[in-house]
Each structure stands twice: as structure tokens, then as C-alpha cells.
């Protein structure tokens, strides 16, 4: 097996073990959205009006649950030093870590998002758009969250620091995704906000590994 294959297998196992993997994220997602009717009341029209936006906000928060351990465990036990000395650049290692995080946590959340949104009153016809948008948004969440996790290395209360760093960066995908879904269900042009969401996600995939690698090297020095 190649070095990349071994690292992918390792990171997938660690991502699943880190905080319960998809079970914790999807459980939080479902529990948070179930509380919404208890707060707003059972009025279907009111729930339908806010279902898209609430789904996106809870999706972003659920993506943050296990980010604090993405680099911290390897940093504490010395595995990060071995990875830095290995044949793969730290940028590639960071990319694989984030992709593993998205596969284990982001993809299941994208599958759950249409179900939760429809249960809250969204139109069933919007389910494919919600899935695509949530998948792209989850990809951005994973790489931006990985950047926050790398910046929080060797710091006390890293989880709070991750939230402070990452939450402002999650605002654009939440806006683009929410507008794309709203326009799709209303019969308005939806391709532009979806393309903006895809561009933001791909930009995060292309640029954040360099920031993560730099933060890891800084924490090791």
C-alpha cells in the first residue's frame, strides 16, 4: 500500500474515533433541530419559513464538534513530528486530514440535512439542492475548521479559539447555501449563489492546507 493510502486509512480511523465520528455530529444536528418546534411552536408555516436557515446554522455548528482533536492528538503523542519528517509534505497531510474529517462527519451531515429540512417544513423538491449545498458547505467547514484546529495547537482552551477563528469564516458558505436553497424553492435564479458556494469551498480546499502546515510548523518550533 502506498504512503498516501496508509495515511488515508489512518486518518479515516482517527476521524471516526475522534468524538464518535458521524454519530455525534448527526446526533447533535438532529437534537438541535428537534428543539426548534419546541421554541417556535408547531405552526407549519413558521417552521417552513426558517427551516433552510436554521438547517444551515446547525450544520455549521455540528461541523465544529470534533475539530479540536484533528491535530492536537498527533501533536501531543509526537505523531505530528513523524508526519512532518515523512515523505509527504505537511500540506498534503493536512489535506488528507480534512478530507477524512469531511468523509466521516460532513458527508453524513449532508445526507441528514435534506431529511431534517423537509421534516421542518421545507419542500421535498428542494431535497437534492439541500444535499448538494450541504455537501459543498461541509467541505468548506472541514478545511476552514482544520485551519482553526492547527492555529489552536499548543494553546489552552483550544476549542474556544477554534470557534472564535472559524465561525466568522463560516458565514459566507452559510449565506450562499441558504440563498441557493431559498431561490431554488422560490423559482428564482439559484445557480449564482451555488457557484459562489462551490468557489468558496474549492478556494478553501486550495489555500487552507498551506495555512495549516504553517501553523503546525510554528507549533513544533
Can you say how many angstroms the Cα of residue 174 is from the centroid of all Cα atoms in its chain? Answer: 11
Give the integer Cα–Cα distance in Å for 99 and 168: 21
Using 50, 70 and 90 to split pLDDT, how confident is the model at 114? confident
Using 50, 70 and 90 to split pLDDT, how confident is the model at 136? very high
- Helices 22-40 & 44-63, crossing angle to 10 degrees? 150
pLDDT at 42: 67
The residue that leads in pLDDT, 20 or 64, is: 64
Highest mean pLDDT (candidates 1-15, 36-50, 207-221):
207-221
Candidates 121, 142, 136, 154; CA nearest to 47 is 121
Give the integer Cα–Cα distance in Å for 139 and 206: 12
Give the integer Cα–Cα distance in Å for 193 and 178: 9
What's the half-sphere exposure (Cβ side, CA atoms, 13 Å) at 195?
A: 4
pLDDT mean across residues, the chain: 82
Sign of the dihedral through C-alpha 149, 152, 157, 161: negative
Helices (H) and strands (E) in the chain, counts: 10, 0
The residue that leads in pLDDT, 197 or 154, is: 197
Report the share of the chain in percent with pLDDT over 90. 16
pLDDT surpassing 80 at residue 115: yes
User: Which cell is 214 given?
Assistant: 504553517
DSSP state of 89: -
Per-residue pLDDT of 186-195, as tens digits, reads 888 999 999 9
pLDDT at 17: 67
Per-residue pLDDT of 140-176, as tens digits, reads 988 998 888 888 886 665 566 777 778 888 889 988 9
Per-residue pLDDT of 80-106, as tens digits, reads 888 888 888 889 989 998 998 888 888
Element (H, E) at 176: helix 158-186
Highest mean pLDDT (candidates 27-36, 132-141, 177-186):
132-141
pLDDT surpassing 70 at residue 3: yes
Amino acid at each position: 500500500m502506498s504512503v498516501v493510502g496508509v495515511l488515508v486509512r489512518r486518518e479515516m480511523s482517527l476521524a471516526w474515533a475522534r468524538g464518535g465520528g458521524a454519530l455525534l455530529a448527526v446526533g447533535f444536528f438532529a437534537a438541535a433541530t428537534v428543539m426548534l418546534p419546541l421554541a417556535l411552536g408547531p405552526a407549519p408555516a413558521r417552521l417552513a419559513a426558517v427551516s433552510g436557515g436554521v438547517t444551515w446554522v446547525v450544520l455549521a455548528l455540528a461541523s465544529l464538534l470534533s475539530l479540536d482533536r484533528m491535530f492536537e492528538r498527533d501533536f501531543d503523542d509526537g505523531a505530528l513530528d513523524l508526519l512532518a519528517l515523512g515523505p509527504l509534505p505537511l500540506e498534503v497531510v493536512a489535506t488528507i486530514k480534512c478530507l477524512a474529517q469531511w468523509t466521516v462527519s460532513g458527508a453524513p451531515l449532508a445526507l441528514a440535512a435534506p431529511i431534517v429540512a423537509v421534516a421542518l417544513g421545507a419542500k421535498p423538491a428542494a431535497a437534492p439542492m439541500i444535499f448538494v449545498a450541504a455537501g459543498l458547505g461541509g467541505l468548506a467547514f472541514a478545511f476552514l475548521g482544520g485551519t482553526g484546529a492547527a492555529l489552536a495547537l499548543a494553546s489552552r482552551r483550544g476549542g474556544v479559539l477554534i470557534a472564535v477563528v472559524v465561525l466568522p469564516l463560516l458565514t459566507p458558505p452559510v449565506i450562499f447555501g441558504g440563498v441557493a436553497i431559498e431561490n431554488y424553492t422560490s423559482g428564482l435564479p439559484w445557480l449564482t449563489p451555488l457557484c459562489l458556494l462551490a468557489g468558496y469551498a474549492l478556494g478553501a480546499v486550495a489555500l487552507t492546507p498551506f495555512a495549516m502546515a504553517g501553523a503546525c510548523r510554528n507549533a513544533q518550533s
